[in-house]
Amino acid sequence: MGVTDLFSNIRIANEFVGADLGDWRRTARLSRLVESLAKNPSLSFPQAMPDAADLEAAYRFFNNVKVRPEEILRPHIGQTVERVLQEAVILVAHDSSIVSFTSEGKEGLAQHFGKQQFLVHCSLALQADERHRPLGLLAMSQHLPIKTPGKLLNDRWPDQIREVHALGISPGNVVHLMDRESDDYDLLSFMKTMGARFVSRVKFNRRTVDGGYLEASLEQAVVQAEREVYLSRRTGKRVGAKQLKANPPREARLAQLSVSAGRITIPRTPTARDSSEKFLELNVVRVWEPTPPANQSAVEWLLYTTEPIDTAEQLLQVVDWYRARWTIEEFYKSLKTGCALEKRQLGDLHSLTNALALLAPMAWHLLLIKSEAHTRPTTSADFVLDKEELEVLRVAAVRGRELPENPTVLDAMLSIAALGGHLKHNGLPGWQTLARGHQQLKLLVAGWTLRRAVEAGILPSPRDQ
């Protein structure tokens, strides 16, 4: 069975099949919650469960100390592994995101600038082809965002790499993708020792064994490849001063990038805690923009990698694989906006992480739909919508967004977005618009199903009561 077959009838409920929460009643409640929230993950719990008894049962479920997030997520990880094992090589994007709440009174969270927060760290599997379809989560953990200079918070990076390979996935079949926070001597040494493949963004201009510095050693390297890359607009809003310095605002543009590479050796750093390796030999790829537009900062990345760097094709593959890392940032947008994680009214870290485990597969599913519409726009719409949803969308489609006879995923996404208020000439829809449209579609499907049940005599007509 190929990965396409595994995706052909994907439904979010399947990602929870086989869950075992230690008591059949808790497992049954999980199924009820999935059924309620899958209709529109952006709804609040009271909106998704208007029945008072169901809502009270949901809150008891999330608060129950015997319900653990890893058990909620376990079936989805199993489904992800099944998809992953159909691939010769996969990418695993690792990243952290801070989850913030403006409301007070939540127990067990960290306080920071008037907000209550915790940190979530995820490992998201992606296909290694040029379209980088998200395959699902392989690991997820929660932490308090304690600032520990020079150290990795709770060793979450190596811990999740171990978790990924403990699932039976060979280190030789995985390329780990990591941002600047992963530039840590212990982590780099750990990955090399275990034989892991990786592409990791450089943060520090480290000293090399010859007495020079990393950046200077790469500046003299000969250009081996060039690539035209679309850079999205970056506003700089809602980020801290540190992030703003690393990622300044920019306008969207096509950038002409040059690529070179070299091999360097760095000595063990004084802050290294665990590594016994006195030196690390690493391949480094430099990507930069020789002639940026006026008043715009030039793009430049330095990337550590275990991948070969001898040919232009190999260098461009490293660059393209690192660019796939943005998919996990889209996953977090889906989790926070499409699934409204930061608006959940739960009282402590335990209940919030249980909700996180429930919503994470739904966020991946939304990401998959959006990814397919962007990267495989000609895929048939029945890949992401069932028969009833397509029937309703045909009838209810906003004028100018009617579905063609054989709709594609892109046709379906634009039609759903139109239900959420998206205007035809406003580009591709965002997460909030899609969530609103998805909500409208589910309400229409519920009415459609009810009408059919009445017509079939399964339910009595209101006129007969």
Beta bridge partners of 141: 121
The whole-angstrom separation of Cα 428 and Cα 149 is: 40
In the 8-state DSSP scheme, what is residue 348?
Answer: B
Among 46-50, 309-313, 457-461, the least confident range: 457-461
What integer pLDDT is reported at residue 8 of this predicted model?
A: 45
Q: Write down the pTM of the prediction.
A: 0.83
Q: Which pLDDT does position 459 carry in this prediction?
A: 52
CB 99 within 8 Å of CB 119 = yes
Residue 92 in tokens: 């695993």
Nearest-angstrom CA–CA distance, 236 and 442: 35
Question: How much is the pLDDT for 393?
Answer: 79
pLDDT band with cut points at 50, 70 and 90 for residue 413: confident
CA distance 253 to 232: 7
∠ CA 168-173-174, rounded to 5° = 90
278 against 154, higher pLDDT: 278
Residue 1 has pLDDT above 50, yes or no: no
Segment 344-369 mean pLDDT: 92
Burial 149-182 (b: 16+ CB within 10 A, else e): eeebbebbbbebbeebbeeebeeeebbbbbbebb
Residue of higher predicted confidence among 242 and 279: 279
Q: How far apart (Å, rounded) are the C-alpha atoms in residues 18 and 230?
A: 42
Strands 115-127 and 90-101: antiparallel
Highest mean pLDDT among 78-82, 390-394, 407-411, 449-453: 78-82
Q: Is 124 left (phi over 0), alpha (psi -120 to 50) or beta?
A: beta
CA distance linking residue 403 with residue 413, whole number of Å:
10
Quick: pLDDT tens for 80-138: 999 999 999 999 999 999 999 887 778 888 887 778 899 999 999 999 988 899 999 99
The answer on pLDDT for 60 being more than 60 is yes
pLDDT higher than 70, residue 247: no
Enclosing H/E stretch for 424:
none
- State the helix-helix crossing angle for 185-194 and 156-166, rounded to 10 degrees: 20
Domains of the chain in start order, with CATH, are 1-179+325-364 (no CATH), 206-312 (3.90.350.10), 377-457 (1.10.740.10)
Task: Identify the pLDDT of residue 465.
Answer: 52
pLDDT tier for residue 312 given thresholds of 50, 70 and 90: very high
If pLDDT is split at 50, 70 and 90, which confidence band does 144 have?
Answer: confident
pLDDT value of position 4: 42
How do residues 164-221 score in pLDDT, each as one tens digit? 999 999 889 999 999 999 999 999 999 998 899 999 999 999 999 988 999 998 888 8
What is the average pLDDT across 256-278?
86
State the DSSP string of 47-62.
Answer: HH--SHHHHHHHHHHH
Average pLDDT over residues 411-431: 73
**Nearest 10 degrees: CA dihedral of 456, 460, 464, 465?**
-170
Exposure string over 264-282, b if 16+ CB within 10 A, otherwise e: bebeebeebeebebeebeb
**What's the chain's average pLDDT?**
84
Nearest to 232 by CA among 253, 249, 263, 257: 253
Q: Where are the beta strands (DSSP E) in 232-352?
A: 253-267, 279-288, 300-305
Q: What angle do CA 387, 392, 394 make, to 5 degrees?
A: 95
Confidence band of 381 (pLDDT split at 50, 70, 90): confident
Higher pLDDT among residues 388 and 260, named by residue: 260
